[in-house]
Amino acid sequence: MKRLLKTAGIVIGILLAVYLLSFTLNFGSGAPETGLSFSEFYAKEGLGLDWKKAYEAILSDLEPQRLILMAYWQYLEPNQDHYDFSDLDWQMDLARKDGKSVILAVGQRVPRWPECHIPTWASKLSGTAYDQALLAYLQTVIDHYKSDPAITAWQVENEPYLSTFGQCPPLDKDLFDQEIALVKKLDPTRPIVTTDSGELGLWFSAAQHADDLGTTLYRVVDAPQIGVLHYFFIPPAFYAVKAALVKFFEGVSSVYISELQAEPWAIDGTPLVYESMSAQTSDFPTSTLVANFEFAKRTGLSPIYLWGSEWWYWRKVHGDQSFWDIGKQLLKE
């Protein structure tokens, strides 16, 4: 018995030493490629900004070379079979003229709370009628944009397997498979991207559908029934090892960071615009933005898309340019 306990102690000690050593490892080699996500919905409805001015400033001043843009169903098809592409066309036109590459996120679930952006008319449908409406929207969007040279990939849904976050219907795996198959059929040349939670997801289910996999990377969240959770116990190796595993077992071409936390988490669900500037800075100082980026670099994943440029702009127009300037510096690194 004593020998068994001694052996178990040695094994635990070795595992603990390996775990602690993993915090010192750096999987990055050179500067990663970088980009930004931009959400018309968040800029307009979450922060109350003139979203077009925000987008123009982000492109012209921050000068990201890579973008993730969102094809919000509720905006593009406000009434069934009646589409309005004017706002997204404007975003795409400006990106193309500025020589940006774009990943376009499509589906019922695309970035920014409440995650699912379903038109009112579609939310009243159920069963086959709903499925057909979603697939019809997907086909219309892909057909509309597949000739645009700025688009480099289609992101189909956003973190579809993260059932604990967002105000969304339960994942219908058969429907998700149909979405993937439809996009591949409509545009067989561009890669399909799926995304998953960096901290909560295993990645394998999402990677089964993908050519490329995008992961979120958060360091501080407001977890339901737990409170504010700091992921200080997760080393860069956590992401690097998972990336190697899904590449090997699922055959994805690349794993990148689709959403690096570069803004405060809305604690208790309170929108950031209702927090004081000082409270925001206390929750998320500029040093945290830099530290998150340095941590992301050490994972070795690339590109890194920073999440929060709309909030940087909101701070800027309210008198604090510090996050804007640091974000600009990180993008040029």
Q: pLDDT digits over 266-282, tens only?
A: 876 678 999 999 999 99
- What pLDDT was estimated at residue 259? 98
Per-residue pLDDT for 29 more than 90?
no
User: Is 16 inside any structural domain?
Assistant: no
Q: Looking at the domain assignment, is residue 106 inside a domain?
A: yes
In a domain, 12, yes or no: no
- For the entire predicted model, the pTM comes to 0.95
Which tens digits make up the pLDDT trace of 121-179?
999 999 999 999 999 999 999 999 999 999 999 999 999 999 989 999 999 999 999 99
Task: Decide if 25 is inside a domain.
Answer: no
Q: Is residue 29 part of a domain?
A: no
Tell me which residue range forms the domain holding 315. Answer: 34-332
Q: 218 vs 42, 62, 124, 278, 308, CA distance in Å?
A: 19, 22, 34, 21, 12
Which range (12-16, 123-127, 274-278, 322-326) has the least confidence? 12-16
Quick one: tokens of 231?
A: 């992921």
Q: How many structural domains does the chain have? A: 1
Cα gap 77→87, rounded to integer Å? 12
pLDDT of residue 15: 47
Gap between the Cα atoms of 221 and 201, Å rounded: 15
Q: What is the CATH number of the domain that holds 87?
A: 3.20.20.80
CA 228 to chain centre: 20
State the chain's mean pLDDT as an integer. Answer: 93
Residue 282 is assigned to a structural domain of this protein = yes
Indicate whether 174 belongs to any domain: yes
Q: How far apart are CA 149 and CA 170, in angstroms?
A: 34
Q: What pLDDT does residue 25 have? A: 81
**β strands within the chain, DSSP E:** 34-37, 66-70, 101-106, 151-156, 192-196, 212-217, 220-223, 227-230, 254-261, 304-307
Is residue 16 classed as helix, strand or coil in its secondary structure? helix
Q: What is the pLDDT of residue 270?
A: 78
Interval 53-90: pLDDT, tens: 999 999 999 999 999 999 999 999 999 999 999 999 99
- pLDDT category at 204 given cuts 50, 70, 90 is very high
pLDDT for the residue numbered 3: 62
**Is position 18 within any domain?**
no
Q: Provide the pLDDT confidence category of residue 16 given band limits of 50, 70 and 90.
A: low
- In the chain, the N- to C-terminal Cα span, in Å, equals 56
Banded model confidence at residue 299, pLDDT cuts 50, 70, 90: very high
